[in-house]
Amino acid sequence: MNAQRAQEIYESSDRIAVQLDDGQSVWIEKVDVANGVATVQVGQSPTNTQTVDVERLKEHNH
């Protein structure tokens, strides 16, 4: 996805499921649109965060 879409998901009141390109479920915590990266929480652990390129993120469609 692109940085703008990641920001839209972050700001959305809806719970939009997002995955990394390796299939891990993540929650977007912060988006740096200028640099094209996002800080995400991996799984259910609030301490397990990673900064990843937004291109690695994809919306999980059921």
Domains of the chain plus CATH, in order, are 3-59 (2.30.30)
Predicted TM-score (pTM) of the model is 0.88
Question: From CA 27, how far away is CA 4, in angstroms rounded?
Answer: 16
Report the pLDDT averaged over residues 27-32.
Answer: 97
What pLDDT shows up at residue 45?
87
Query: Exposed/middle/buried for 35, CB within 10 Å: 0-12, 13-18, 19+?
Result: exposed
Q: Which helix (H) or strand (E) holds 40?
A: strand 37-42
Whether residue 38 is predicted with pLDDT greater than 90 in this model: the reply is: yes
